[in-house]
Amino acid sequence: MIYAPFIFPNEEDAILPKSKRHLKDVNETYGEHMLKALGYAFTLQRLVPALIIHSIIPAFYTCTASNAMKGILGILEDKCCSDNEDNQMEFDFDAN
């Protein structure tokens, strides 16, 4: 049998129980969470052209990305992992 820790919910480090705990912590169903996360992803993706143009011509779109990200962060402020003690799978954007 192939061991897949994300499938077996009784494993301490399995992804399924961590996912269920996260959904409970943010008080969302799987579908709600997926739609919100995809909405944030599409919003951020739409900002890419504005950021590229702004990098070339700083006078254009001076606050577009900042305002959009502040809006997303304002929504997520109460839901983010501020008190999360779990070992999370996170991207390290500062890694060299």
How high is the pLDDT of residue 1? 42
Residue 7 or residue 1, greater confidence: 7
For residue 89, what pLDDT is reported? Answer: 59
* Residue 25 pLDDT greater than 70, yes or no: yes
Task: Give 42's pLDDT tier (boundaries 50, 70, 90).
Answer: very high
Assign 26 a pLDDT band (cuts: 50, 70, 90). confident
Q: What is the DSSP string of 44-77?
A: HHHHHHHHHHHHH-TTSSTTHHHHHHHHHHHHHT
